[in-house]
Structure 1
């Protein structure tokens, strides 16, 4: 029996808590250590979740008994921690967005390539049976893909500093808008159409603190038109509609949750018939953890669910969308 990989979680916030609660559902790894900027906070988090090892980021990354790290910290620390983890020989699963801009994203990817280690951007909706089914449908059954429309938005408490503080790379685009953009990029790629994507038009609201609070855009991804919307000041539907010449796939809850992947959609055909699409569910955070360890064991630097070419395209479109505002 293959020994389970040893995970270290960097960051002791809410999303890291969700990750460690999901990790027992993974088949290839287990929680081993917790790192935080404050070693005392790391110890408290480790005790709460049953990790034997705790310390500062540097202390955890210096250990030889850590195989992979999950980065669940604020956006502006992803670069620093990802580069340090790769230099220390660890596989990396990093919360989205990988970098706060194109330059940071590229720097981290180049470092992973040089290190020969897995680096996975943690778009959890990409993992599980339903995501696999969507890829299959887009690559053939729906015909030629012509358009995708999708959104994500919520009314956030303005006291949540990381969302509204520009020094922490706050704003709707990086926190939430990366989801619809990455889905649009994925759909175009699965359809074999992703080529020189660009922002056709964009509009939105820049708040008093200088961050983008609400925005929409039209993207062109090799002939696939994408209409995307995001907000941190109002709720938006969590739906996606993918239109092809042989059918239209509607997914009511395309993003799922941190605890359970999406399992339902339906295809409307040109002849008026409607076909349900149903799959089993999984813990998506456990699935992305296993994808990272699978890549590590197989000597790959990328997970097929989130290829680096798509990470790059998403980062570029987000930057261009923000610039267009």
Structure 2
């Protein structure tokens, strides 16, 4: 009998709320454990490590120099994603990076090329993709259950507690589009790919509320026969509902994004013949699942994962840049 592989050793970069959520999810992962914490400030890293039971802590440079770290999770501010991901790849670590992978398409392209060159996994952490329900969604769309796709409506938005901090700071690439709007955009890209639509997505209209950063934004995106209307905000709550319509029916999903602790699990399928069916799956920890997908890719010698392939990461980056420019 083959002995089970040792669990991979994760280092987390950043000591904020989303990193804490990832750390709390790791015990549900099958293939990795928390081993190290890195931050700009070594004392802050040590405090975070002590709070979460990590044996190792230090600065980014100190942790990347270690040979007992297999993979790095980046939960830092947007503008640090690219330089830290490049450094981690240079150090021989697999990378799971919070969205957006790069602030601009060129950054994203350079990171993908780097990962391809060194032969290591680079995964953009769109956690909603890593669960049974999105797998079912891909199956329904690819299998033609909805027919030829025509319309998609989706949104995500919230009202921030304060106008201080990274969300409202142009220096850290704040704003609704990069922080939350990347979810609807990535869904449009994914749905089009699952349907076999090869046309490049185009932003044909956009508006919103813009101060120091984009606070609220809407866009219409066309991808071949599919017209998608997306919306996002950091100063107003928005519905998390998604509707995908095709020539054979529509699928309504109350919350395709799920949460940081539980994946989405249900939708309502309405066929053109008038029949209505609830489609449902089990739920899992999506952050644990994306961690496992990264480690499985590392062990298999793969550079990307099926849930969020590089072509979709790059297409999402181009759309986000076009949306921001259109405002």
Hey, what's the Cα distance between the residues in 2 that align with 1:224 and 1:290? 33
2: CA distance between counterparts of 1:194 and 1:32? 41
1:66-105 aligned at under 5 Å gives the runs 66-105=69-108
Indicate conservation of the 8 Å contact 1:6/1:67, yes or no.
Answer: yes
Cα distance in structure 1, aligned partners of 2:223 and 2:29? 34
Partner in structure 2 of residue 306 of structure 1: 308
SS in 2 for 1:148: strand
Q: What pairs with 1:133-172 in structure 2 (closer than 5 Å)?
A: 133-140=136-143, 141-172=145-176
**Match for residue 234 of structure 1?**
236
What is the distance in 1 between the residues matched to 2:48 and 2:69? 17
Tell me the alpha carbon deviations over residues 102-149 of structure 1, each in whole angstroms, 9 at most, x when there is no partner: 111111111111111000000000011001000001112221111111
Deviation at residue 245 of structure 1 after TM alignment: 1.4
- The corresponding residue for 1:246 is 248
Deviation, structure 1 residue 254: 1.0
Which residue in 2 is equivalent to 1:268?
Answer: 270
Q: Distance in 2 between matches of 1:275 and 1:56?
A: 52
Secondary structure of the 1:314 match is helix
Per-residue CA distance 1:227-275 (angstroms, 9 max, x = gap): 1000111110001111111120000011100000011111011122110
Which TM-score applies when normalising by structure 1? Answer: 0.98
SS of alignment partner, residue 250 of structure 2: strand
Q: Which runs of 5+ in 1 are unaligned?
A: none
Cα contact 1:5–1:28 (8 A) shared by 2: yes
Is the contact made by 1:13 and 1:72 (CA closer than 8 Å) also made in structure 2? Answer: yes
CA deviation map 1:39-73 (0-9, x unaligned): 00001111111111000000000100100000000
Q: Distance in 2 between matches of 1:221 and 1:32?
A: 43
Aligned residues of 1:86 and 1:111 also touching (Cα < 8 A): yes
Question: What is the root-mean-square deviation of aligned Cα atoms in Å?
Answer: 0.8
CA distance in 1, matches of 2:84, 2:21: 19
CA distance in 2, matches of 1:299, 1:4: 16
Which TM-score applies when normalising by structure 2?
0.97
The match for 1:188 is 192
Check the 8 A contact 1:91/1:117 in 2, yes or no: yes
Matched, 1:114 2:117: yes
Task: For residue 194 of structure 1, report the CA deviation from its aligned partner.
Answer: 3.5
Counterpart-to-counterpart distance in 1, 2:136 and 2:61: 40
